[in-house]
Copies of this chain bind each other. A is one copy, B any other.
């Protein structure tokens, strides 16, 4: 069915389109009487102004583009999805549509909508390639990178604080009486190994401890590799009694290994992960881990992006992570 236009409303009300426009946008310039009269007609007819004309006039698309990684794992997908929920919360508030997109051509090209001006801003989920960053910068569309691990002045990003996360994980073990703590971490993401090791070391230091070289070698990137790394650790005569696994997936690998070695969990080995992926709730025992508020990330991303759209230059933020206590840490009597 044909939709009403502002012109028709003006006719019905016996006023000019200007008057109707003023009423619609709550602007001064009409008498209270006229305003009421026009408003009544608007309410009765349920008239909604056509957004497309505003888009043309203001040269704005009212679209925010979420860019997801086409090769992500289901766990990452879930992570994105929850962040998206946070983004949606804010989108309604701000009157933007949230579109979902994948980079094209082997991940190094932005989707068309960016180039044809059909996007007012971009939220990248996960770090993007340098090529993509360059292109985003070059085309001048405001953007924000979420779940980033890179710090750069050129890009506004939201970074989970993995140093803090590793600190929290280790601290939880220490609080529960553990002193012989190992760590399995990774260098897949730039700086990740250094950051987690720093947090880990800081926590130990607070208890007058230092990381033991043989217990901090773990440097893996898959569940299987974590299994092997755990085996190396647990086969030692002086094996640790607790392990911080800086990614939940590593924790799952380590748990498998411990079970295969006949170790009872958490009685003979305590484990803390980082990320709080879905699986952590289904391991046996359920994994104690350090997670982040994903909905909050999404909301924050929108706040930052909208500031950028308005021409401000918000700074990147580092988000602390929170302990999720489940069953994989044994409390030691001390």
Residues on A close to B: CB < 8 A? 1, 3, 48-53, 55-56, 59, 61-63, 66, 70, 74, 77-78, 80-82, 84-85, 88, 92, 97-102, 104, 111-113, 115-118, 140, 252, 278-279, 282
Are A1 and B97 in touch, CB under 8 angstroms?
Answer: no
Residues in B with CB closer than 8 Å to A66 are 100
Query: CA of A52 to CA of B101 in the docked complex: distance in angstroms?
Result: 19
- With A98-B100, A102-B88 already in contact, the answer to whether A140 and B1 are too (CB < 8 A) is yes
Q: Say whether A116 contacts B48, CB under 8 Å.
A: yes
Given contacts A51-B116, A59-B50, A279-B282, are A99 and B101 in contact (CB under 8 A)? no
| CB-CB under 8 A for A52 and B59, given A1-B140, A97-B118, A102-B88 | yes
Q: How far is the CA of A99 from the CA of B87 in the complex (A)?
A: 12
- Residue from B1, B52, B116 in contact with A56 in the complex, judged by beta carbons closer than 8 Å: B52
**Is B97 within 8 A of A99, CB to CB?**
yes
A1 to chain B, nearest CB (A): 6
Report A114 CB to chain B, min CB distance, Å: 10
- Which chain B residues border A104 with CB–CB below 8 Å? 92
Q: 13 A-B pairs, CB-CB below 8 angstroms?
A: A51-B118, A52-B59, A52-B61, A70-B85, A74-B78, A77-B82, A84-B100, A88-B100, A92-B112, A97-B99, A98-B101, A99-B100, A279-B279
